[in-house]
Amino acid sequence: MSSVPSSPLAAPAAAAYDPDARLSALAWLRANLFSSVWQSLLTLAVAFVLIRFFWFVLDWGVVNAVFYTTDPDVCRAATGACWAVIAEKHRPMLFGLYPYDEHWRLVLMMAIYLGTVVLSLWPRCWNLRFLVPLWIVSSLSIGVLMFGGVLGLRYVPTSEWGGLPLTMLLFTGTVLIGMPVAVLLALGRRAPLPVARGVSVVFIEALRGVPLITILFVAVNVFPLFLPAGVEVNKLLRITVGIAIFFACYQAEVIRGGLQAIPRGQYEAAASLSLSYWQTTRRIILPQALRISLPAITNHIIAAMKNTSFVIIIGLFDILTATTAVMQDPLWRKFYIEAYLFVAAVYLFFGYALSLYARQVEKWIASGRI
Amino acid sequence: MTDANPGLRGKRPRRSPKDILYSESFRTAVYQIALAAAVALLGFYLYQNVVENLARQNIATGFGFLEQVSQFEIGETLIAYSARDTYGRALAVGLMNTLSVSAAGIVVATVIGFSVGIARVSSNWLLQRLATAYVEIVRNIPVILQVIFWAAVIRNLPAPRQAVELWGLGFLSNRGLTFAMPSAHAAHLWMLAALGAGIALAILASHKAKRHREATGRYIDMLWPCVGLIVGLPLLVWLGFGAPHEISFPERRGFNFAGGATISPEFVALMTGISLYSSGFIAEIVRAGIQATPRGQVEAARSIALRPRFILRYVVLPQALRVIVPPLTSQYVSLIKNSSIAVVIGYPDLVNIGNTVMNQTGQAVEAIAVMMLVYLIVSLATSLLMNLYNRLVAIKER
């Protein structure tokens, strides 16, 4: 994840010479598509392939597609896509093993979750006196909705949680647990104490050298052995912490890059004001370091969202596991492409939303708003 | 320092215990000892718990299980293996599979990544937009979803009888990819050796030519001699063996194919998934590398009538590679680590076999430790190799 997220598109060739030139449509075509014989041939070739492709997509995905039916034979008879599989199976795909009659609780939970997240990302609401109560209230209500067992709601153990809500919870848990750990690890790696440096370096490098899967195996199979007899930690929590620590090791390296970019004078100025290490870190260094490394931080946060899909290996029913399980149904199995396209669209949507927001934050930073 | 102000040193007041308590060096030492002690204590506590738990659950400890007979078969092996072999050998088979799928994936990802990366900076608007769309899509869909998708696509391909024919050279079916291969011949090994020798000689010769140029200022074009060495030597060996040109074409026979070589469906799905995913990231790295060479440099090189080949070789590539190689290394390492999702689609890689070993022996700690250690070694070795290469292309400062 070393590249810039959704980097701005490379400027067209003509603009590189004269960014202010306002080209007429014809001149633009000449400069960007038909500047030479070879370029024209290339354009025609690419256009041919694209038109064939879009023709196929239109033909398969719209013209000959079946949008709604409850009878798989109707789909079988059609030559196009069977979007009906999503209508038919959207509930097990989106909500996994969660009891069918209680799905309304998950819908409500997602509404509360998305509302909380959107409010927290809005600079107008960046006020601890608002955000802390907001998160307490929404976490409590999400907890009540997911677990149940009170207010006449049926109790649902975490082993039955699944689908998109589970993906959201895993992702949020990863970021909320991982970011503070990442900051601590990054500070540890740059600390004036050699022992702290050593511990952080070994921890970061060891975990970055192994695949996420092995860390999930540790969380599921080895971690229970670390605890004294009789003590148990919920499997979902163990897995979330495992993903979070893996995430933290990558994020720590990004934040370290930001820390290294802070000029020495900042530390010296803080020292001359006789600020303590923690005062310097909290008020002078971290705000600047986090701003500098923001693009790379968002990259890893988006990667963390994609990485939640690794839980399929240890049998948690996130949206991907649920879809894979649903696609075992012999009646609908043939239409796996449509189902996976739907899941891909969900990931693309959230990833795109995150990167748009990150770009907005970079603009706010550049304009000095935050 | 001590000589510079002896006065200060001489008049140093006696330190009271309070001064020592507030001195920075003392505090630093205390914090560090406390941290080290905390880490050691935590480690000891966890170790104790593990030992107790294992003893209570009657699970064996130690790496003795590596010598025991595995009693399971593996679908795909590069070295001889049967169910009568040991767990250790089973893990070695898994490692070989991990390495082979990663190596193939790295080659494919690099080829696609470089092509798309170059297309990303193309002056052709349509091509550039197409490349951008490709990058955004493959990068932002989880790699596991991509691998599962390709596995499903291959599983749903027609059976060998109705297999998709690839220009008479091979077949794509739910048995994987079957393609024509030259029939095995003793010459092949010698040709491989000749290729290695050719590459070594080419490197040596260009080095000599460079020395010669630096000493005399006279340029010797080594392009064709090098091509001749690398291609010609194996060709000579091939001719020396009487030019064995028998090629084994696959044919449909019964429910399967006869002849040719076959790559398993799992291998194809895994390699396609992880290499397409990585190719998106590599494309972005390549784009950044190309854009690192200012336009003016190419124009300057052209204005002194440098041949296009030399502009690429002596102006663009040295600057681009410097930017490309370090992040490319981490992409390769992450591709190797991504190959561990093989377990989802049943390709027998290290993690898949490690998982089986773990379930059979119950020795989770040791089995996971073996997996982690192997990946650490592979990751570090890849970084080391690429760092050596990076040292070749990095800025040589005087």
Measured CA angle at B218 (ends B215, B224), to 5 deg: 115
Q: What pLDDT, in 10s, does the model give residues A289-302?
A: 988 888 888 888 99
Distance separating alpha carbons of residues B147 and B276, to the nearest angstrom:
10
For residues A37 and A367, give the distance between their C-alpha atoms in angstroms, rounded to a whole number. 44
Contact A3/B49, CB-based, under 8 Å? no
- The burial class, CB within 10 Å (0-12 / 13-18 / 19+), for B322 is middle
Q: Virtual CA dihedral for A307, A311, A314, A317, nearest 10 degrees?
A: -170
CB atoms < 10 A from the CB of B36, how many? 15
Residue A126 CB coordination number (10 Å)? 12
- Across the interface, whether the CB atoms of B123 and A217 are under 8 A apart is answered no
Residues of A in contact with B156 (CB under 8 A): 334, 336
Cβ–Cβ contact B374 with A under 8 A: no
Report the range out of A159-163, A214-218, B10-14, B295-299 with the highest average pLDDT.
A214-218
pLDDT over 70 for what percent of chain B? Answer: 93
Q: Are A355 and A295 in contact (CB under 8 A)?
A: no
What pLDDT band is residue A22 in, cutting at 50, 70 and 90?
low
Confidence of residue B274 (pLDDT cuts 50, 70, 90): very high
Q: Which residues of chain B neighbour A218 with C-beta distances below 8 Å?
A: 368
Q: Report the C-alpha gap between A274 and A120 in whole angstroms.
A: 34
> In the predicted model, is pLDDT for residue B40 greater than 50?
yes
Evaluate if residue B7 carries a pLDDT over 50. no
Q: What span, in angstroms and rounded, lies between the C-alpha atoms of A124 and A134?
A: 14
Supply the DSSP string of B128-188, one letter for each residue.
HHHHHHHHHHHHHS-HHHHHHHHHHHHHTSPPGGGPEEETTTEEEETTEEEE-EEPP-HHH
Find out whether B88 and B64 touch, Cβ atoms under 8 Å: no
Please tell me the number of Cα atoms within 13 Å of A54 on its side-chain side. 6
Q: How many CB atoms lie within 10 A of CB B11?
A: 8
Q: What is the pLDDT of residues A32-86, one digit of tens each?
A: 788 778 888 888 888 999 999 999 888 888 887 778 777 777 777 778 778 888 8
Q: B268 to each of A117, A267, B192, B258, B364, how far by Cα in Å? A: 40, 53, 25, 19, 30
> DSSP secondary-structure letter at A218?
I
Q: Residues 308-337, chain A: which have Cβ within 8 Å of B? A: 309-310, 312-313, 320, 324, 327, 334, 336-337
Q: How high is the ipTM of this complex?
A: 0.85
**Closest by Cα among B33, B35, B326 to A202:** B35
pLDDT of residue B273: 94
Per-residue pLDDT at B116: 93
- For chain B, first and last CA: distance in Å? 33
The single residue listed with the structure tokens 């019964």 is: B254
- pLDDT band at B156; cut points 50, 70, 90: confident
pLDDT at site A19: 52
**H/E segment holding residue B11:** none
- Contact call for B365 and A212, based on CB within 8 A: no
A305 Rama class: left (phi>0) / alpha (psi -120 to 50) / beta = alpha
Q: Which residue has the tokens 């003016």?
A: B296
- DSSP-derived 3-state class of residue A233: coil
Given an 8 Å threshold on Cβ–Cβ distance, is B337 in contact with A210?
A: yes
Residue keyed to tokens 């990442």: A182
Decide if A252 contacts A189 (C-beta within 8 A). yes
Mutate to test the interface with B, among A217, A218, A311, A320 (most CBs of B within 10 A): A217
Q: Find the mean pLDDT for residues A9-20.
A: 46
Q: Which residues 254-313 of A have a C-beta within 8 angstroms of B?
A: 302, 306-307, 309-310, 312-313
Task: Kindly report, residue by residue over B220-261, the tens digit of the pLDDT.
Answer: 777 788 888 888 888 888 887 777 777 777 777 766 777 767
Q: What is the pLDDT of residue A12?
A: 43
CA distance B70 to B81: 10
A251, exposed or middle or buried, with CB in 10 Å at 0-12, 13-18, 19+? buried
Using CB atoms, pick whichever of B127, B144, B295 lies closest to residue A309: B144
Tell me which chain B residue has its CA closest to the CA of residue A308. B142
Estimate the crossing angle of helix B265-291 against helix B143-155, to 10 degrees.
140
Dist. CA A235–CA A221, nearest whole Å: 10
8 Å CB contact of B124 and A46: yes
Q: Which among B275, B140, B134 is positioned nearest to A305, based on CA atoms? A: B140
- What kind and span of H or E run contains B251? strand B251-253
Is the pLDDT at A17 greater than 80? The verdict is: no
